[in-house]
Amino acid sequence: MTRFGIHLNKLDKQVDSASTLAELVKQGQVRAVARLITLLERGEQEGHDALRLLEVDAPRAAIIGVTGYPGAGKSTVVDQLVAAYRRLGHKVGVLAVDMTSPLTGGALLGDRIRMQRHTLDQGVYIRSLATRGHHGGLAAVTGEAVSVLEAAGYDVIFIETVGVGQGELDIATVAPAVVAIVAPGLGDEVQAMKAGLLEVAHVIVVNKGDHPEADRTLRELKEWHRSVLKVTAMTGQGIPELIAAIAEQQRLHDLEGAPTRAAP
């Protein structure tokens, strides 16, 4: 494969400078993109220097946040959205955040298991990030990683948060379009969502749409939110409608020049 043309491990030893790294990122070299995110994660000066060089002419990507309760199907929805945006001809980046154990400092990063079919697609970059003690549902490096992907030419960027409850809402500050995924049969949790997910999400997705409780959950949520959709991520049912809803939110965002409120 010539894609990685220049050998970065040689670069490490020889001309490991911020400007070289920035240049390779701009060319879309995957290894350089991955290394720069690592340097930023570690808080290394070289990473910040390279990032500063990139931000000068960073293009504007569509940034889509995907959040929701654990097990609701966030990664599977992202997998389907990646496939759809690829069909539309976009270069897609995914930042998938998982929790670091506060006890051991370790993390099991498994979101990409649901996205394996994109691993060989050169137009898709998937990076797993651990929270490393950062609260709010994201890794501290998330915003910087988005900038790196933008500079590398990814024009649609997904940020998948950790499985959230009510308090992990940082996604609202980095993504102008936030999709919250919930599973059918929420019951009283709808009440809890009123202060939390429902406030920050622009689109609510009731996933597992083939579940007997799906329609009831859909109805309940529609009383509280203007944009609620039913999706079956396993089959892809409802994904085109979800893309239309995301596009509508992006249009509103562009018109207003600021994130829109999600209230009905």
Contact positions toward another protein, by CB under 8 A?
1, 3-4, 6-10, 12, 30-31, 34-35, 37-38, 41-44, 100-101, 104-110, 112-113, 116, 119-120, 125-128, 130, 132
CB of 155 vs another protein, minimal distance in Å? 18
The least distance separating another protein from the CB of residue 75, rounded to whole angstroms, comes to 12
Which is nearer to another protein, 149 or 203 (by Cβ)?
149
Cβ-count burial 227-251 (b if 16+ within 10 Å, e if not): bbbbbbbeeeebbeebbebbeebbe
Between 10 and 135, CB nearer to another protein:
10
Q: How far is the CB of 217 from another protein (least distance, A)?
A: 29
Rounded Cα–Cα distance for residues 59 and 28 (Å): 13
Q: Which is nearer to another protein, 115 or 164 (CB)?
A: 115
User: Least CB distance from residue 97 to another protein, whole Å?
Assistant: 12
Tokens 């079919």 -> residue: 117
Cα-based distances in Å from 151 to 7, 58, 263: 20, 5, 33
Helix (H) or strand (E) holding 180: strand 177-182
Nearest distance from C-beta of residue 9 to another protein, angstroms: 4
Give the nearer residue to another protein in terms of CB position, either 70 or 110. 110
Please state, in angstroms and rounded to a whole number, the distance separating the CA atoms of residues 175 and 167: 17
Round to whole Å and give the CA distance between 211 and 73.
Answer: 13
Task: Please work out, in degrees rounded to the nearest 5, the angle formed at the alpha carbon of residue 65 by the alpha carbons of 105 and 201.
Answer: 115
- Looking at the Cβ atoms of 105 and 264, the one nearer to another protein is 105
